[in-house]
Structure 1
């Protein structure tokens, strides 16, 4: 499914996007967000800077740069939060803008050993707590 940038959550950078996540970094070809719903402590999202529907649409150079950004964020998350594993999700069924969900998983934590939930709607933090998580990742970027 190809989407119109004029209807794209990431391209429009609107209130709906800001209600879901907090943008905190720009990398070589991407933007980095902290999910406000924090069932998976430290969950982030990396979105391609321009409107692209799928990884296979990018040039080899841009694809490699995007995957380097994703890897850079997961390495920072690993250092900051020490999860057992980080799950990657790149679905885009209804929102065709290239992005990866990065969900840290912890032994005995929610959904460990299974697929992470897209938006469980259970754990929200204070502004100070969000800032603490953001600073922990930024320190390692």
Structure 2
């Protein structure tokens, strides 16, 4: 039986939720399907409405993973959910690098330069140094 070009094109396509699961972006296929159904995944800039939408090589996916917005280009459809190196070969990560944060705004806690826990006198001095302490 001879395969038609249409059958070959369909063989290179895979369900969106299945691909997200095989590429190890989601722990279960159900989580991937729920994210797609919730409208949180975009395929080539268009919101994916169904988890059964087919994707293939060259498609660009945009979705949230934790606190990071991921942008990936599909290189190949997966055959199975294999180990991480195999899953990373399925896509090209286009996610921009995170912006560097200023270290002064990272921690709101006061810094104590001495050793050990500050004494009551040290804490009072730190309170006086902080702006707006007596206002």
Length-normalised TM-score, structure 1: 0.27
Indicate the structure whose relative CO is greater, using CA pairs within 8 Å and at least 6 residues apart: 1
Query: Highest Rg: 1 or 2?
Result: 2
Between Structure 1 and Structure 2, the one with more helix by share is 1
